[in-house]
Structure 1
Amino acid sequence: MRAPVQHPWLVRKILSATVIGVDEFQIRVIAPDVGGSFGIKANVYPEYLMALFAARQSGRPVKWTSERTEGFLSDFHARDNVADAALALDKDGKFLGFRLRNLVNIGAYFSPIGAGPATNNLGTLSGVYTTPAAYVEVVGVFTNSHPTAPYRGAGRPEAAFIIERMIDIAAYELGFDPIDLRRRNVIPADAMPYKTSLTFTYDSGEFEKNMDDALRLADVDGYAARKAQSDADGKLRGLGVANAIERAAPPGVETAEIRFDPSGTVTMLSGTTNQGQGHTTMYTQLLCDRLGLEADQVRVIEGDTDRLAHGTGAGGSRSSAMGTAALVMAADKIVEKGRQIASVVLEVAVDDIEFEDGTYTIAGTDRNVSLADVVRNAFTGANLPGGMEPGMLAHAAYHGKEPSYPNGCHVCEVEIDPETGMVEVLNYVVVDDFGTILNPLLVHGQVHGGVAQGVGQILLENTVYDADGQLLTASFMDYGMPRADNFCNIKVQANSVPTATNPLGVKGVGEAGCVGAMPVMMNAVMNALSPLGIRDLDMPASPVRVWAAIRDAEKA
């Protein structure tokens, strides 16, 4: 079965054990590289089974393609929550406690992992703050709508939205500056590791420095002058700030395999899956760095249950931490086997051999042998240590036991036309801590994409049913999607604090942009509307809703 799934091995197991009733080796699942997944493709849909059933019955290959309207009707939805939250502060603005009752729409029936977003990532509700006590109640409700499931961030953007909106609301109600209120409560860097009032324990991070860098990059000192100009132009200008943190790469297992050909070219197999994240670039870059190879010598294969015995797939911003850790372990095994062969070729002890940039060298001398020559020896069987098997391949399975906590600060500036309700994004800045950055260009792409999805939800996206349960937003004519002209240039800067929870010190990047974008976008919109006495607005802050809120405020 070829399908754009995030977890091919899990899909094979489910189809084998609970649906089709055949042994796993009788099913092959191939997940091709497609654009985007974001959680919606982490599920087993009925159409997969129907295609397999039809192929078995007809004895012919069967292809099923969803039309766009069918996708709106049958693909799982997300983020239908009603939150009742409270934040307690003392007279100096120190947080004393947080309380939340979250009503979560499950839909007409459970999706396979539908309960996850509402429960697995509650820790983000603590934010980057020293709040000493928290109480959270989550109530799942069955409704007549379509089932809900994870969507980029899987509960973290919703949680960040709640706590960061509550901080802004508290600041406005109690007369604090929203930025200063955050500073009064932020966890200091020297407090790490820090156990929050909910489920997370942060191992590293410089949260206040994130804020300092982001505010400087956004030129917040010059905001008053820009706002005065907007006022003169008859526009409403707003500034939003939000701190974001999330759990990435939760405990689990990932695998990798490195197979050399006799000519010295390499096939790398990974148990992760690629849906546009740039895994091929990341793995190729890392393998070339570790083994001294050229990029054109490396082939990367992912998402095929017949090519690799086991894998976990993509999800939870895990691949850059888990997949690379498994690859490094396999590469180290290759280097060590090559060291033993090189010691025979160069006629010295193994301990005297050093490896760097694809070459084995006798320490303190210029005598060396290339990895390519070592590989050729490995396949011919010549010059192998006693008892060593010919060939050059290595398999590794990495067991991650602790998650990482990517974090950052988002600053957004908007301008609203009160005559139309149109919101224009004028400035957007992100300073993020992703630990060790493997490829800055890929990181920026991930952040940009996450921000686009977060901003899209706040300003445009909304699933609407009529009173009879008919879905009204079943095409892109009716469902608002963010486009390039909805954005300004997004500035991304790093404040890297490597984590000790995985070998490379990586903190996942895939969902971080979305986690911070939702709260900062709404904070900016509400800041622009606050002079009119508007304190809250349900998302999306679409032109018609913003316009209506302004008209209502004028009447009041």
Structure 2
Amino acid sequence: MNDLSAGNTSPLGASLPRKEDYRFLTGSGRYTDDVTLPHQTYAYFLRSPHAHAKILGYRLDAAKAARGVVAIFTGDDIKAAGIGGLPCGWLITDVEGQPMKEPPHPVLAIDKVRYVGDHVALVIADTYEHARDAAELIDVDYEPLEAVVHVSDALRPGAPAVHDSAPDNRSFVWALGDKAAVDAAFAKAAHVTTLEFENNRLIPNAIEPRSALAHYSRADDSYTLYVSNQNPHLERLLISAFVLNLPEHKVRVIAPDVGGGFGSKIYLYAEEAAMVWASQKINRPIKWTADRSEAFVSDAHGRDHVSKAELAIDADGHFLALRVDTKAAVGAYLSTFASAVPTILYGTLLAGQYKTPAIHVTVTAVFTHTAPVDAYRGAGRPEATYLLERIVETAARELKLDPIELRRRNFITEFPHQTPVALSYDVGDYAASVDKALKLADIAGFPARREQAQQRGKLRGIGYSCYIEACGLAPSNIAGALGARAGLYEAGQVRVHPTGKVTIFTGSHSHGQGHETTFAQVVSDRLGIPFEDIDVVHGDTGRVPFGMGTYGSRSLSVGGSAIVKAIDKVIAKGKEIAAHVLEASAGDIEFEGGTFKVAGTDKSIPFAQVALTAYVPHNYPLDKLEPGLDETAFYDPTNFTFPAGCHICEVEVDPDTGETSVIAMTAVDDFGNIVNPMIVEGQVHGGLAQGIGQALLEGCVYDRESGQLLTGSYMDYAMPRASNFPNFSVGTTCTPCSHNPLGVKGCGEAGAIGSTPAVINAITDAIGARELTMPATPERVWRALQTAQHA
């Protein structure tokens, strides 16, 4: 770890305190709900109490006459206005060569509601309380219909259809890999391990609920949307071009400070589109902030897979083939990235860290009468890792092999490595991460700790997980061929001011990752100027170049690389200016440590003087260069980056109650080069908390008869607390990414990817069970223990 106080001058690798933290810790952050505009109104969305019902009519008179009401809009108004539905951003082609079934997703429900929480009416009033009170006076005439909320129910013959255009509730059936090769490998296998399980549905719970403030200006016929969102440019594009048919340059989207996203704030939601449209109708700003109960039913959920996995192994413990069949719930509608998560971001990761020669995966995307399912921290990668690391651990136990030994026999050791599921890994050293993790976790001392636990009447278990993820989706042309309906590049602008200070404009967006710090560290290192002289601007389509936002651990590898490209342009122009001032050839100018100098001489000029010269061009090559020092670059990666690592969990189980305690959690990750170790460690800690939360506590449950959400509050949906965790032991190894200028890979999702299977593997090891359903509540653990003891 670099330490500036120890005399090092480069900020890269230094744990500098975050620039953002002062405003956050002092209550000076500015979130969407903090924004107030003149003549502002407030929105309340009336939501469906039914999972599936026809809308036969509305009685609105009493509500319209209520105190403070400005306007009420329903699906009838949306339909009459010809407003388009919310689009899905990724087109999947099914195994028959047909495009996925993509039913319309109306901004307000038209004719039918399809899940509890579906948008029925938008009520606008002078206060939030008045809007809510008026909504209670709306009388909607519903005809309730049978609902299906679980994929197995939705796929049964004769099940009620969520959409008429998908009568069997299948959006698509997608496959990847060589089926014939897999079948042949299974035919000659010495051993086959089979595992069936569910990856439980999760509800995102960012500290800041979703919020939006839409404003229409009649003066210039423009719209401004303040929104808690991870991807403001995509939000603007979807609203303007695909939903409301507005000129894009007339729509400005501002995402100010955002209090957590975890994927749930990438998408375009119905509330935001409805409010932008309605703000023009009433010619006043409209604000809406979800309460927590509303968030439970309306935020896009995550995970929700039902899978069967089979692993074929030869007599020497080498993997021959993997066969996977997954049923993935997508909810009532296809959300923005819903189709990509269980396909491109899942199936392509099923090789993991292993040189399995043949893999075949089939994914059936299933509509259900539930909230839409989309990306949640990791987005497909946790689901792939859970499946792979659970079956590898299970196979090791069946073969009576040490789980780490089985993994070592099958690790990829030569790079680049082409997997049988499309991806090509550039670099990696998986054994190094395992070796370091084993030492940090003190695996050598585990047998003694297990014996001590037995003496206290407790059961100790150890679980492993070796994960890999694909970050920084790329490149755009390949993604487009795979169905992406947008580019996957990033933009960066470096604006050097006359005094040599710098402002960075980035299309990436920070919602807890510390971009204002890490991006400034990169710029400080490259330009040799003080860290304090650099500001970072993001989250405003009116100020920054077009960008693709933050998700998939792409910010530094893609957004940071765009900034580096822009810096290179600044330096190149600076050399031309310096050459003119120093009366030398530009080819002889070197730049290092914030100084331009003539190679082999003592002639030099500092960066700040070059900047001033660019803006006060009295001695300047005007015949060759324009004044100013302000450069923009776009970066489109040539490949994904591939963070990887080893996570080890140690648990203790009370056999009388099934209560599980995580005693130790070790994570060793290869993120490539690291800019700020403190921020990386914080990201890993947060991911571990979410991954352990899924394994032990969190689980979204709908009633299979009524379709009602049974886990609609913190009384029923168990969020992890600090007392659920031990002190985490984290470390890193490093194989720098070979194809971006920073050599970075991404760290934001790793903790949530590797930890979950490690926890379940540890519990099953402790209780001697083969299968265990998440979340591993005390009751489920106790029942699994009873089954194992009587097997």
Post-superposition offset of 1:308: 2.1
Matches within 5 A, 1:216-227: 216-227=439-450
Post-superposition offset of 1:419: 2.3
Matches within 5 A, 1:8-407: 8-121=232-345, 122-188=347-413, 191-251=414-474, 252-385=488-621, 386-407=623-644
Letter in 1 for 2:657: T
**Residue number among 744, 749, 759 corresponding to 1:511 in the alignment:** 749
8 Å Cα contact 2:506-2:547 kept in structure 1: yes
Other-structure match for 1:440: 677
Post-superposition offset of 1:544: 2.3
3-state SS in 1 of match to 2:235: helix
Q: TM-score normalized by structure 1?
A: 0.97
Letter in 1 for 2:631: A
Cα distance in 1 between the residues matched to 2:365 and 2:498: 57
Does 2:773 correspond to 1:538?
yes
8 Å Cα contact 2:537-2:544 kept in structure 1: no
Matches within 5 A, 1:512-527: 512-527=750-765
Other-structure match for 1:478: 716
Letter in 1 for 2:432: K
Per-residue CA deviations over 1:289-344 (Å, capped at 9, x if unaligned) read: 11111122111111211112311111111111011111111111111211111122
Cα distance in 1 between the residues matched to 2:428 and 2:252: 42
| Structure 1 segments unaligned to the other structure (5+ residues) | none
8 Å Cα contact 1:161-1:519 kept in structure 2: yes
8 Å Cα contact 1:123-1:198 kept in structure 2: yes
Other-structure match for 2:686: 449
8 Å Cα contact 2:505-2:545 kept in structure 1: no
Other-structure match for 2:105: none
* CA-based RMSD: 1.4
Per-residue CA deviations over 1:513-536 (Å, capped at 9, x if unaligned) read: 111011111111111111xxx211
Number of equivalent positions:
551
Post-superposition offset of 1:107: 1.3
3-state SS in 2 of match to 1:119: coil
3-state SS in 1 of match to 2:227: coil
Cα distance in 2 between the residues matched to 1:401 and 1:461: 37
3-state SS in 2 of match to 1:377: helix
Letter in 1 for 2:263: G
Deviates more, 1:227-236 or 1:481-490: 481-490
Post-superposition offset of 1:549: 2.7
Other-structure match for 2:194: none
Letter in 2 for 1:493: G
Cα distance in 2 between the residues matched to 1:387 and 1:501: 33
8 Å Cα contact 1:32-1:274 kept in structure 2: no
% of aligned pairs identical? Answer: 47
Letter in 2 for 1:368: S
Cα distance in 1 between the residues matched to 2:570 and 2:671: 28
**Residue number among 544, 549, 554 corresponding to 2:784 in the alignment:** 549
8 Å Cα contact 2:240-2:247 kept in structure 1: yes
8 Å Cα contact 1:153-1:316 kept in structure 2: yes
8 Å Cα contact 2:493-2:545 kept in structure 1: no
Ranked by relative contact order (alpha carbons within 8 Å, sequence separation 6 or more), the top structure is: 1
Post-superposition offset of 1:155: 0.6
Other-structure match for 1:494: 732
Other-structure match for 2:652: 415
8 Å Cα contact 2:499-2:608 kept in structure 1: yes
Post-superposition offset of 1:553: 4.6
Cα distance in 1 between the residues matched to 2:412 and 2:301: 35
3-state SS in 2 of match to 1:35: coil
Cα distance in 2 between the residues matched to 1:500 and 1:511: 21
Per-residue CA deviations over 1:427-451 (Å, capped at 9, x if unaligned) read: 1111111111111111111111111
Cα distance in 1 between the residues matched to 2:788 and 2:611: 75
Other-structure match for 1:431: 668
Deviates more, 1:352-361 or 1:59-68: 352-361
Cα distance in 2 between the residues matched to 1:474 and 1:68: 9
Displaced runs of 4 or more, over 4 A: 551-556
Cα distance in 2 between the residues matched to 1:355 and 1:97: 53
Per-residue CA deviations over 1:500-552 (Å, capped at 9, x if unaligned) read: 1211111111111111011111111111111xxx2111100012221233345
Cα distance in 1 between the residues matched to 2:605 and 2:700: 63
Cα distance in 2 between the residues matched to 1:541 and 1:291: 51
8 Å Cα contact 1:235-1:418 kept in structure 2: yes
Letter in 1 for 2:443: V
8 Å Cα contact 1:29-1:305 kept in structure 2: yes
Cα distance in 2 between the residues matched to 1:447 and 1:309: 30
| Structure 2 segments unaligned to the other structure (5+ residues) | 1-224, 475-487
8 Å Cα contact 1:341-1:383 kept in structure 2: no
Letter in 1 for 2:397: Y
Per-residue CA deviations over 1:33-66 (Å, capped at 9, x if unaligned) read: 2122121111111110122123212222211000
Per-residue CA deviations over 1:394-419 (Å, capped at 9, x if unaligned) read: 11111212111111111111111122
Per-residue CA deviations over 1:61-106 (Å, capped at 9, x if unaligned) read: 2110001000000111111111111111122211111111101111
Letter in 2 for 1:67: D
| Structure with the higher fraction of residues in helix conformation | 1
Cα distance in 2 between the residues matched to 1:555 and 1:349: 84
Cα distance in 1 between the residues matched to 2:790 and 2:757: 28
Cα distance in 2 between the residues matched to 1:273 and 1:118: 24
3-state SS in 2 of match to 1:82: strand
8 Å Cα contact 1:412-1:524 kept in structure 2: yes
8 Å Cα contact 2:556-2:744 kept in structure 1: yes
Letter in 2 for 1:219: D
Letter in 2 for 1:221: A
Deviates more, 1:49-58 or 1:544-553: 544-553
Post-superposition offset of 1:555: 6.1
